Amino acid sequence: MTLDLTQFHGTFFEESFEALDSMEAALLKLSAGEVDQELINTIFRVAHSIKGGSATFGFTDIAAFTHTLETLLDELRAGKRQVHAKLVDLLLRSGDLMREMLVATRDAHTLDKTRIAALHREIEAELASRDAPATSAVPAATAKVTVAAPATTSAGPAGWHIQFAPGPKLLRHGNDPLRILRELNSLGACTVRVDAMKIPPLADLDAEECKMSWTVELAGDVPESAVRAVFEWVEGECELVITPVGVPAVSAPDAEPALAPVPAPAPSRPADAAHAEAARGSGSTAEGGSIRVSIEKIDELLNSVGELVITQSVLSQLAAPLEGRDAEELRNALGQLERHMRSLQESVMRVRMLPISFVFNRFPRLVRDLGQRLGKQIELRMIGDTTELDKTVLEKIGDPLVHLVRNSIDHGIEMPEARVAAGKSASGTIELNAYHKGGSVVVEVSDDGGGLKRERILAKARERGLVTADEELSEDRIFNLIFAPGFSTADVVSDVSGRGVGMDVVKRNINELGGHVQIFSTPGKGSMVRIRLPLTLAILDGQLARVGSEVYVVPIVSIVETIQVRSGQVNTIASQGEVLRLRDDYLPIVRLYELFGVQPDHTGLLDGLLMIVEADGQRIGLFVDELMSQQQVVIKSLETNFRPVTGLAGATMLGDGRVALILDVPGVIARFQQARRDAARAA
């Protein structure tokens, strides 16, 4: 029976991408001046593993490229080569190319053979320069880094005596003893003896169980760690004894006497045993106390829990008017059920949670490369990278953060000479910070650059007709103008920025996540963009508000305060309609019943309530009849079940069986402004 290796491809690609992330992180630490042997070993192990996995699955182009790269890394690991800026840059570009080759192979696309060959030649040229300089020029953004050759010690063992007996599952997990022996042979001269005494008669032979074992004499001054690295992916699936030559060997359990010497297999195409972990890890989805579960299954579970939460709420409302001893016991039991449901809901939510480091980890490379390209010295600080949020939110926040960091590098941080002239250090700082606040996650991107140019932004906005010449705007409104589509204050258009593409994407993506953005800036001191996001997109903390017979859910994250309007607080302005005077500020009043065509209980502002909500740096007052309770609601998509509606983010089922619409505050503001423009045109 032939093992179908294609079933393991998905796990191989996934684990290879994760490994390349760790390789890039280690290379960036080398670039920043942190050099230790473990970093170099990490980089080597990634190339070693991907090379072997590619060879096992027949991805020969990837295996061939990585084999040459591994040779270079092996020299670095052995102390025969020193770290310098050009080498780190070459290794980073090699990692990028490996990632592209893996993506192309996974998606069955054609590989860029010309680019592969060109980088291959660069690696071979680096290998040919045996005497790589220890003090090559290091980019301004990095420190000079060297890796010293290992200190001379007493002579190591003359070789190793290795006894290797595969276990019953080694072949079933895609491992190949022949490749292991071939890899050993690449470390030094080997004499291999095979023990075939346990092979049963042909009729009883199981093709998926290896009954042979081997004794290997490996000659040469080879580190024990290198020998053990060959077997690291089959550890626990074989019996292995490694002893220095000259030390009496301890026989492996039930080992049979060795037979006549057999020549070691000659190395052919690049291959090794390390890659087999991809096959081994994907056969059963368990690995190191964890288990891989598809996100679709978790979503189904979360949806079921949401339905249970609604059912529990319905039961609680039905039990509320009941009286008597049995009714009291029923309510107690339902209270206990509610506590258990909340615990279950939180547990399922935690399954979907991932640390924000999955997003943050892409930025050291971005800051390094873009800083060097622009000739700027930049230090990146990351705080709170263990802060967890929902996987869906995590996936959608990546692109907005990339735009914000690129803007900080290009527009925020000044050139070194300008910083020094302003009394600052030549090196600028960009800080990424994430933390929980209430039921939300706050992500901040800040820099100590020149800050936003308030007057220049306002002048550009007036030039483009975004605001009128006599319109007075708060500082928040002015800063939020940079999120307008196509808005840019750059004098020169470059491939980094200047076309006004990006910041509107930031705003749109964050609004779609139910979050909002704030901008703070001090001239000459720097800027900060603060993003507030919900922990999850599946469940929302909301305030229930009634307008007539309709109930709306307002996200608590958007609510600033709620007030009872007093006489004299409301004015009518010709161009803006009704406005509320609140602490020296004028806020537009939005009557929800007019916006959504609902019959209200009250039309007089003194008879209802105003909810002050905020989005995109703008505050408005939502006029409602009554505030009800605060509660977590399970979000149901309107787009999936009906169609998109401006101003509505979704719907939910209340405990009494009614459907409540969930407000999208940025959409409500946009819908109100559009209605006001339409009315002005009609007039």
pLDDT reading at 372 higher than 50: yes
CATH of the domain at 588: 2.40.50.180
The Cα–Cα gap between 462 and 120 comes to 53
Indicate left, alpha or beta for 673 from its phi (over 0: left) and psi (-120 to 50: alpha).
Answer: alpha
| Residue at a domain's end among 508, 534, 560 | 534
Same domain, 604 and 475: no
Residue 147 lies in a domain: no
- Mean of all residue pLDDT scores within the chain: 80
Residues 369 and 338 in one domain: no
CB 396 within 8 A of CB 508: no
The total of other beta-carbon atoms located within 10 Å of residue 335's CB is: 12
Question: pLDDT digit string (tens) for 604-614?
Answer: 888 999 999 98
Same domain, 613 and 523: no
Q: Per-residue pLDDT tens for 38-71?
A: 888 888 888 888 888 888 888 988 988 988 888 8
pLDDT confidence of residue 420: 93
CA–CA distances in Å: residue 518 to residues 467, 530, 598, 622: 20, 5, 32, 21
Exposure on the CB side of residue 1, measured as CA atoms within 13 A: 10
Is 149 among the domain residues? no
Rounded CA gap, 247 and 315, in Å? 75
Give the pLDDT mean for 481-502: 61
Token pair belonging to 294: 């598809």
Q: Are β-strands 213-219 and 159-166 bridged in parallel, bridged antiparallel, or unpaired?
A: antiparallel
pLDDT-above-70 percentage for the chain: 85
* HSE, side-chain direction, 13 A CA sphere, residue 137: 2
Q: How far apart are CA 419 and CA 428, in angstroms?
A: 8
CATH of the domain at 522: 3.30.565.10
Same domain, 213 and 261: yes
Task: Assess if residue 216 is contained within a domain.
Answer: yes
My answer on whether 249 and 302 are in the same domain is no
> How far is it, in rounded angstroms, from Cα 196 to Cα 256?
9
Is 641 domain-assigned? yes
Residue at a domain's end among 534, 558, 590 = 534
Q: Quote the pLDDT of residue 287.
A: 54
**What is the rounded distance in angstroms from the CA atom of residue 218 to the CA atom of residue 601?**
90
Higher local confidence (pLDDT), 608 or 173: 608
Count of domains in the chain?
A: 5
For residue range 326-347, list pLDDT tens digits in order. 888 898 898 899 888 888 877 8
Produce one character per residue of 154-168: b if its CB has 16 or more CB atoms within 10 Å, e if not.
eeebebbbbbbbbbe
Instruction: Give CA separation, 446 vs 370, 407, 517, in Å.
Output: 17, 11, 13
The amino acid occupying position 654 is: L
- My answer on whether 369 and 499 are in the same domain is yes
The domain boundary residue, chosen from 474, 506, 534: 534
User: Which range of residues forms the domain containing residue 252?
Assistant: 159-283
Statement to judge: residues 471 and 572 lie in one domain: no
Q: Which of 147-151, 345-349, 584-588 has the highest mean pLDDT?
A: 584-588
Q: Is residue 92 part of a domain?
A: yes
- Between CA 443 and CA 397 the distance in angstroms is 10
The confidence score (pLDDT) of residue 599 equals 93
The two three-digit tokens of residue 384, written as one number: 């709170």
d(CA 500, CA 489): 8
pLDDT at 299: 79
Same structural domain, 361 and 350: no
Owner of token pair 């288990």:
291
Residue 412 DSSP code:
I
Confidence of residue 292 (pLDDT cuts 50, 70, 90): confident
Domain assignment present for 144: no
Residues 239 and 225 occupy one common structural domain: yes
Taking alpha carbons only, the member of 499, 497, 431, 487 closest to residue 458 is 487
Q: Which residue has the tokens 């037979």?
A: 259
Q: What is the pLDDT of residue 248?
A: 54
Picking from 535, 518, 536, the residue whose alpha carbon sits closest to that of residue 527 is 518
DSSP line for 301-330: HHHHHHHHHHHHHHHHHHHTT--SHHHHHH
- Give the pLDDT band of residue 256 (cuts 50, 70, 90): very low
How far is it, in rounded angstroms, from Cα 626 to Cα 545?
A: 6
| DSSP code per residue over 526-578 | EEEEEEEEES-SSEEEEEEEEETTEEEEEEGGGEEEEE---TTSEEEETTTEE
152-166, 186-200, 373-387: least confident range: 152-166
Report yes or no: 251 and 177 within 8 Å, Cβ to Cβ.
no
pLDDT tens track for 514-544: 788 888 999 889 999 999 888 777 777 889 9
- The two structure tokens encoding residue 382: 């990351």
Nearest CA among 283, 285, 193, 175 for reference residue 230: 175
- Identify the pLDDT of residue 440: 79
C-alpha distances in Å from residue 225, one per residue of 41, 211, 220, 229, 288: 11, 27, 14, 6, 22
C-alpha 58: how far from its chain's center?
30
CB atoms within 10 A of CB 520: 16
Torsion from C-alpha of 71, 73, 75, 79, nearest 10 degrees: -170
Report the DSSP beta bridge partners of residue 591: 623
Give pLDDT, residue 207. Answer: 78
Query: Rounded to the nearest 10 degrees, how much is the dihedral formed by the CA atoms of 504, 441, 303, 295?
Result: 80
Confidence bin at 273 (pLDDT 50/70/90): very low
**Closest to 345 (Cα-Cα) out of 309, 378, 381:** 309
Amino acid at 60: T
674 Cβ neighbours under 8 A, 6+ residues apart: none
pLDDT of 5 above 80 = no
Is residue 154 in a domain? Answer: no
Model confidence pLDDT, tens digit, residues 394-447? 888 888 898 899 989 988 999 999 999 999 999 999 999 999 886 678 999 999
Instruction: From residue 258, give the alpha-carbon distance in Å to each of 80, 159, 189, 194, 220.
Output: 37, 19, 19, 6, 22
Pair 502, 599 in one domain? no
pTM of the complete model? 0.61
Say yes or no: 80 and 98 in one domain.
Answer: yes
Alpha-carbon separation of residue 327 from 220, 309, 322, 341, 423 (angstroms): 83, 21, 6, 20, 74
Q: Which token pair is 324?
A: 């008597």
Residue 622 near residue 554, CB atoms below 8 Å: yes
> How far from each other are the two terminal CA atoms of the chain, in whole angstroms?
81
Same domain, yes or no, for 454 and 364?
yes
Mean pLDDT of all residues in 462-483:
78
Task: State the number of CA atoms in the 13 A half-sphere of 679 facing the CB.
Answer: 12
Residue 442: inside a domain, yes or no? yes
Within 353-453, residue ranges assigned H as helices are 357-360, 363-374, 391-407, 416-421
**Residue at 143: amino acid letter:** A
Please give the pLDDT value at position 213.
92
Q: How many other β-carbons are positioned within 10 Å of the β-carbon of residue 659? A: 11
